[in-house]
Amino acid sequence: MSLNDLDGLRSGDRFITGKIYAEHYSLIERMIVAQKGDSDDAKDIYQEAFLIFLDNIQNPSFELTVKISTYLYAIAKNLWYKRLKVIGQQSFVIDDRFADELPDVTENVDRFLEEEQKYDDLYSGLNQLGEPCKSVLTDFFFQKLSMEAIANKHGYTNADNAKTQKYKCLMRLKKLVAVGQKRRNG
């Protein structure tokens, strides 16, 4: 792992992230196929593990203390064991070459999965929101684009108009989330 790789991952560089994604896939696939899974399971788990990895690494307070491959392996293994448990299968270890150096990622993974549950209404709200709201909110909250850049990208005449649009989108999302909560609570 080079320093450049980590910087690239943190800044969301597609070239570097894609390269790293491709580099570690077969390692995870081998582990899962060796433990009652098939290559579809491997893809599934690897995507989820990679998401948790990116989600963590873009958090400035997160420090990666092991190699990227080791970390991905630990996350994927945790996810896969959880999956096996759900379908009533026992996990067993074959050729667990990282066994000694695997970091404990339980807390990491559990927090991620809890948040996924907690934000269920937001996920479906965002999905119902449609375009351009979904992109506007993503550009603002995730990409951290300026209102100026958002105005340019989405063809609003100026930053103030983009701001108003963002406000309307947020309000619609709030409403959708409230409706979802109400539906679930009775």
Residues that bind other proteins (CB under 8 A): 13-15, 17-19, 21-22, 25, 39-41, 43-44, 46-48, 50-51, 54-55, 58, 83, 86-87, 115-116, 118-119, 122-123, 126-127, 131, 134-135, 137-138, 141-143, 145-146, 148-149, 152-153, 155, 163-164, 167, 170-171, 173-174, 177
**DSSP structure class, residue 156:** -
Residue 144 C-beta: closest distance to other proteins, Å: 9
Residue 158 C-beta: closest distance to other proteins, Å: 11
Cα–Cα distances in Å, from 169 out to 141, 148, 183?
A: 12, 17, 21
Q: Pick between residue 110 and residue 148 the one whose CB is nearest to other proteins.
A: 148
Residue 99 C-beta: closest distance to other proteins, Å: 25
CB atoms within 10 A of CB 154: 15
**DSSP structure class, residue 142:** I
Q: Is the dihedral of CA 87, 79, 47, 101 positive or negative?
A: negative
Residue 95 C-beta: closest distance to other proteins, Å: 23
Task: Note the residue count of the chain.
Answer: 186
The backbone torsions φ and ψ at residue 45, rounded to the nearest 5 degrees and listed phi first, read -65, -40
